[in-house]
Amino acid sequence: MRASIVVTFLLAAGCGGGRCMSDFTGHWVGTTLADSVDLGDDCSFRYTGSGGCESLGEYAAPIGNQGSVKVSIGSSTGGLCLPAGDYVCVYSASAKTLTFNCGGGVTSYGR
């Protein structure tokens, strides 16, 4: 269940600016678990984790250095993913690190 917390963070964005564009969009690789999160500048969210887990959805707003953000998971398949639904995730971010807690414990990521 802990792996599923990292949930869902977004498809990496290409060119152009979207409504969630920030310094923190893009691909993040797990530093404590074998997982990753992609936060798109279009507010898309993609989480991949152990056992073939993949969660897809969106997040509500651009993220800053710290705070909380609503993550809505539309679909989850395989592994220990969070089920579809809405989650409030607490986070902190810097140029090279990102931590998330969507209710199942803190997960850490790097670039």
Which range (8-12, 72-76, 77-81, 84-88) has the least confidence? 8-12
Mean pLDDT of the chain: 85
| Residue range of the domain that includes 8 | 2-110
- CA angle in degrees (0–180, nearest 5) for 22-26-30: 120
**Tell me, what's the pLDDT at 6?**
38
Q: Strand 107-110 and strand 44-48: pairing?
A: unpaired
Q: What is the pLDDT of residues 46-58, one digit of tens each?
A: 999 988 999 999 9
